[in-house]
Structures are given as structure tokens and as C-alpha cells.
Amino acid sequence: NLGVDLSFVFLRFGEIKEGDVVRHDGKRSDGYLEHIFKHAAKELFGMDVKEITYKALKNKDFQEVTLEKDGETVLRFASAYGFRNIQNMVLKLKKGKFLYHFVEVLACPGGCLNGKGQTQTEDGKPDKALLNQMEEVYAAIPVRLPETNMYVQKMYQDWLEGMDSRKVQETLHTKYSAVNQTASSLDIKW
């Protein structure tokens, strides 16, 4: 996911017209998991995944997606929505019992469209009719893979010096290493 400020895109490439609005794969405003899962399946294992199946685990806001090849699970992704699920995920990570290759994390239970600033009635309760309407509008927007977007391609060409350049490696790729823990009264205890 290349988080580019839209104002940069407007300034750099010109205005986007209403007909140019597209979305990524996904059920709602989430869906990066689906795109990354399908891309990883193809790039890493040569498998073209058309549809993915979510398996709800402890609740509907913690779901798992797996890819099997030759009877072995080769990809294990999860979506964790809401702070309760995020907190459980962090606890499992600390214990070394979180076996996922990728996790899509959203703070709002039910995803971003169900956020506190989105689908509430005047008395502060969830407005399910409005949520359903927003999901229908979102689903009606055409899907386009990010890598086929001409603005993304132009950004790779002009700003990142090509798809496999040293600048791409330096700018978009991250390396992780262990961090020494220091005791602090500001540490959050999950």
C-alpha cells in the first residue's frame, strides 16, 4: 500500500475527474488484505486466486484467510477490526503465538465505514441502513488494480526511477530488526 497524499497526486498529475474514481478489491473500505493476498499468491506461488474466503475466528471482526498449496498452508492473513481485537493480536504477538504473514488492522469494529464519524443516528447509535447504503455505493465503484493505475505507473517512472530501481527499494521497502525494550512509565501495558 503506497500511502500517497491525494493533494500530491492532484498537483503532480492533474485533477482526477469523477469518472476516474476507482477502488481496490474488498468488501468495503478495507480490502487491502484481498489485493495483497491475491498478489502474493500469484507472485510467490504462481496461483491465480479469483475469490477469497474469510473465516471468522473469535468474532466477525477477527477473520482469517489462508492459501494452501500441496496440502500445506503457505499464506495466512488476518483482518483485525476494533481495539479489542487489536489488543488481543498484540498480546499474541508478544507471546510468539501469532502466526500471520499479514494483518489488516482497522480501529473501528466493522471497518472504516462503520466508524464513529460515519454511520450514527442522532442519538449516537449505529445506523445500519446508512451503513448498508454506503457499502452499496462503495461496491458500485469500478475495481482497478493499483498497478494498472496510470498515475501510479507515472509516479514509478518519474519519481521512483522505475519499478525495480534502487530508489524503490530505499523508499518503499522496510527492514525489521529486534528492538531493545526499555522500562518506562509511558509504556503501554496491553
Q: Which three cell numbers stand for residue 89?
A: 493480536
Question: How far, in Å, CA of 76 to CA of 174, rounded?
Answer: 20
Question: How far, in Å, CA of 42 to CA of 51, rounded?
Answer: 13
Q: Confirm if 65 and 149 have CB atoms less than 8 A apart.
A: no
H/E run at residue 84: helix 83-94
Please indicate whether residue 11 or residue 21 has the higher confidence score (pLDDT).
21
Which residues make up the CATH 3.40.950.10 domain(s) of the chain?
Answer: 24-114+122-131
Question: How far, in Å, CA of 151 to CA of 157, rounded?
Answer: 10
* Nearest-5° Cα angle at 116, 114 to 117: 100
Q: Is 82 left (phi over 0), alpha (psi -120 to 50) or beta?
A: left
**Residue 8 scores a pLDDT above 60:** no
Q: Which three cell numbers stand for residue 97?
A: 503465538
The pLDDT, as a whole number, for residue 22 is: 64
CATH tag, 24-114+122-131: 3.40.950.10
**Residue 9 scores a pLDDT above 50:** no
Indicate the pLDDT class of residue 187, thresholds 50, 70 and 90: low
Please indicate whether residue 187 or residue 174 has the higher confidence score (pLDDT).
174
- For residue 75, the cross-strand partners are 67
